């Protein structure tokens, strides 16, 4: 895959920071974004600054150990989370961490977004798991994410927020929008007191349909519910999609092209 220039990456981070702030996904100095510039360098947002009012000169370049290489500001205290994801996922080149209200509400309530309620989420993300609480700005936060990063492209962080990542920053941002939109749908079903879940046959069709979408490369397994369709019955079992390995192979091919 062709990597964008540093100039392009700086512009993309500034633009995405404004979008996050305008949509209410972050407030004050919340959130952080990054782009992989090369094998050994990452461009990341600074700490203590609104991501809605950044300039390209405010961004910081670090190496894969988190050491600042260039920039007049201090790097985000959550750089460890970004570096962990880049180390574990060579296919990832952009990361977004934000606190969208509804999704963060689920995270604060200790509820994962893992119910098969919306076909678009099944195709795009599979499911959105919940990582245990880890203190922001410490290695503890990265450790809570480590078991989930290889298989999922979006993770709720208990009592904290959401992190999404993708082949580029735009992909990571779109996944953040998807998470928050799905959280709003899930909240409405909770308020209505009823969830009509997709059944096994419908899920199998959707997972197979992922092959038709080149922009979709999530390998996340979907939970399958043996229910009567009203979301109230049956035990849940985890179904590993046979699509997972095929999806990763396709992504590797796209990255090499």
Residue at 86 is within a domain:
yes
- Vertex 247 angle, CA 242 and 250, to 5°: 140
Residue 218: the pLDDT is: 53
Domain of 155, CATH number, reads 3.40.225.10
Query: Hey, what's the torsion of the CAs at 14, 29, 100, 76, to 10 degrees?
Result: 70
Residue at 228 is within a domain:
no
* Contact between 128 and 112 (Cβ < 8 Å): yes
Residue 155, domain extent:
6-192
Spot the catalytic one: 78, 120, 177, 246: 78
pTM of the model: 0.82
Residue at 50 is within a domain:
yes
Residue at 92 is within a domain:
yes
Residue at 210 is within a domain:
no
Residue at 247 is within a domain:
no
> Which segments within the chain are labelled E, that is strand?
32-36, 41-44, 60-63, 68-70, 94-98, 130-131, 154-157, 161-166, 222-225, 236-239
Residue at 219 is within a domain:
no
Residue at 25 is within a domain:
yes
Question: Among this protein's residues, is 78 annotated catalytic?
Answer: yes
Grouped pLDDT means (10 residues each) for the chain, 257 residues: 83 97 96 96 97 96 96 94 96 98 97 85 84 90 94 95 96 96 93 84 76 56 46 34 36 38
Residue 223: the pLDDT is: 52
Residue 4: the pLDDT is: 78
In the chain, how many domains are there? 1
């Amino acid at each position: 895959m062709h990597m964008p220039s540093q100039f392009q990456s700086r512009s993309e981070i500034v633009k995405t920071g404004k979008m996050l702030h305008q949509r209410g996904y972050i407030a004050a100095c919340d959130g952080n974004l990054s782009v992989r510039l090369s094998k050994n360098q990452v461009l990341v947002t600074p700490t203590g600054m609104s991501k809605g009012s950044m300039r390209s000169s405010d961004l910081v370049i670090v190496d894969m150990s988190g050491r600042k290489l260039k920039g007049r500001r201090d790097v985000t205290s959550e750089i460890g989370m970004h570096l962990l994801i880049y180390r574990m996922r060579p296919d990832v080149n952009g990361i977004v961490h934000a606190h969208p209200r509804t999704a963060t509400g689920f995270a604060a309530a200790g509820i994962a977004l893992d119910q098969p309620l919306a076909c678009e989420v099944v195709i795009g993300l599979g499911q959105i798991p919940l990582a245990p609480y880890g203190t922001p700005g410490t290695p503890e936060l990265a450790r809570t994410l480590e078991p989930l990063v290889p298989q999922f492209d979006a993770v709720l962080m208990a009592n904290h927020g959401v992190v999404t990542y993708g082949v580029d920053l735009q992909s990571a941002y779109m996944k953040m929008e998807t998470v928050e939109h799905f959280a709003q749908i899930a909240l409405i079903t909770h308020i209505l007191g009823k969830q009509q879940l997709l059944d096994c046959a419908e899920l199998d069709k959707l997972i197979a349909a992922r092959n038709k979408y080149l922009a979709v490369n999530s390998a996340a397994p979907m939970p399958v519910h043996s229910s009567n369709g009203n979301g109230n019955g049956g035990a849940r079992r985890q179904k590993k999609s046979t699509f997972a390995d095929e999806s990763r192979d396709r992504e590797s091919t796209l990255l090499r092209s």
